[in-house]
A and B are shown apart, each in its own frame.
Chain A
Amino acid sequence: MERTKTDVVIVGAGPVGLFAVFELGLYDLKCHLIDILDRPGGQCAELYPEKPIYDIPAWPVITGQGLTDRLMEQIEPFSPTFHFNRMVQKLDRLHEGGFVVTTDEGEEIECKVVVIAAGGGSFQPKRPPVPGIEAFENKSVFYSVRRMDDFRDRDVVIVGGGDSALDWTLNLQPIAKSLTLVHRRDQFRAAPDSVSKMMALREAGKVGFTMGQVSGIVGRDGQMEGVLIKGNDGDVELKADRLLPFFGLTMKLGPIADWGLNLHENLIPVDTAKFETSEPGIFAIGDINWYPGKLKLILSGFHEAALMTQAAKKIVHPDDRVVFQYTTSSTNLQKKLGVA
């Protein structure tokens, strides 16, 4: 696969990763960002797009999505490259200096500096607390649908009441041998249109519905034969060889843990002058880092991005003299922002 080259790879496209593009851009450093979500914003977009944030300087109140949109506007002059729906799998140091970052889809990006702005880690599907479920994962239990054919002529059980659960109920019903939706209550937070379509299929006898929560899996060697459901009126066993639980996302550190960095309770210790990790050339900013006095605030991450940039600039362009300038008065910086 062709190898892309850039100055900086930023792991995580949350608010701090996005603002790092701005700071690095002022010093002519080009960035690629990699994020497991399908859009920018990180926790702001995934956990609280509509919820207010009150401690962003000069914004008495702004929503998570509002902040993301503003940051995207602010970094637009620097044309960063985004790689969404990707997780960084591997990080290798090159003999001649710099790194190669490999994503879970096999893309390789060569860079001089890596900035980890991964927040609470990468968002991954929540695993329901069903004893022994691990043994069935990727054989009978799936947390997403990659190939619809894996569900053709199967007895499928889908768990959840949100859009993913309802969308896949509607999409897989025509090809599955049987399909049962399991949800803890008779109300669904999914889009009303999907809910009424599901209700129609239910009334037509094409989709089964069981109210309750998954308590166990029957089967052996990863091959599921049935799902145990704990309901309000006792327990039932549903015959099934495919299970799709949709319980939203949780955050996990993921492969970063294997990069040989020193860790402190799943956080990455950094110095407070450069925000560099134990590995030269690898920086960590935002919620993922740790230092004495650390506060997990978006504004702290912004500050860290500015200081990291000074050090990153010296790595990428070691021979240039770094001249500190203000965006208010520097024509040079204003040209880069497209306003002069």
Chain B
Amino acid sequence: MTKLTFIAFDGTRFDIDAPNGSTAMENAIRNDVPGIDAECGGACACATCHVYVDEAWREIVGDPEPMEEDMLDFAFDVRPNSRLSCQIRISDKLDGLVLSVPERQA
């Protein structure tokens, strides 16, 4: 299990034990993190699981692939640390990862 934290828009912290190999989005849905809609169910096809990666983690999490970058065009208030949480796969190197939920999804 890998430690994963979501910070909802209202500041509520969700500390989650995430199985390796799952996506950050799946863990948000399973733990009822508000503000992650994941309308398309993880197909990188809707931009409704948008998160901001904590600055300390940006380099380790990495940049989006071109397809994800295209999907981010449909998200709102996109920042340099924006990612779609369905494209972040949990592994040991992400132990302690912190993701923030934006004010609203697309």
User: B76 near A: Cβ within 8 Å?
Assistant: yes
Chain B interface SS verdict (over half): loop
User: B1 near A: Cβ within 8 Å?
Assistant: no
Known pairs A47-B45, A189-B70, A247-B106; A129 contacts B40 (CB<8 A): no
Q: Is the CB of B104 within 8 A of A129?
A: yes
Q: Is the CB of A47 within 8 A of B76?
A: no
Q: Is the CB of A213 within 8 A of B76?
A: yes
User: B60 near A: Cβ within 8 Å?
Assistant: no
User: B103 near A: Cβ within 8 Å?
Assistant: yes
- Contacting A at CB under 8 A, from B38-74, are 39-40, 43, 45-47, 69-70, 72-74
- A135-B72 Cα distance, complex, nearest whole Å: 27
Known pairs A47-B45, A120-B39; A247 contacts B78 (CB<8 A): no
User: A5 near B: Cβ within 8 Å?
Assistant: no
Known pairs A126-B74, A184-B73, A189-B73; A51 contacts B106 (CB<8 A): no
Q: Is the CB of A213 within 8 A of B77?
A: yes
Chain B minimum-CB-distance residue to A159: B73
CB distance from B2 to the nearest CB of A (A): 26
CB distance from B74 to the nearest CB of A (A): 4
Q: Is the CB of B45 within 8 A of A213?
A: no
Chain A minimum-CB-distance residue to B104: A129
- Contacting A at CB under 8 A, from B74-97, are 74, 76-78
Q: What's the tally of chain B residues with a CB closer than 8 Å to chain A?
A: 17
CB distance from B92 to the nearest CB of A (A): 27
Chain A minimum-CB-distance residue to B67: A189
Known pairs A120-B39, A189-B70; A184 contacts B45 (CB<8 A): no
- For B69, list chain A residues within 8 Å (CB): 185, 187
- A126-B46 Cα distance, complex, nearest whole Å: 11
A157-179 vs B, Cβ < 8 Å mask (1 yes, 0 no): 00011100000000000000000
- For B74, list chain A residues within 8 Å (CB): 126, 247-248
| 19 sample A-B contacts, Cβ–Cβ < 8 Å, listed by A number | A43-B40, A47-B40, A48-B45, A51-B45, A126-B106, A129-B76, A129-B77, A129-B103, A160-B73, A161-B73, A187-B69, A189-B73, A213-B78, A247-B74, A247-B76, A247-B106, A248-B47, A248-B74, A250-B39
A residues near B (Cβ < 8 Å) are 43, 47-48, 51, 120, 126, 128-129, 160-162, 183-185, 187, 189, 213, 247-248, 250-251
5 closest pairs, A vs B, by CB? A189-B70, A248-B74, A47-B45, A48-B45, A51-B43
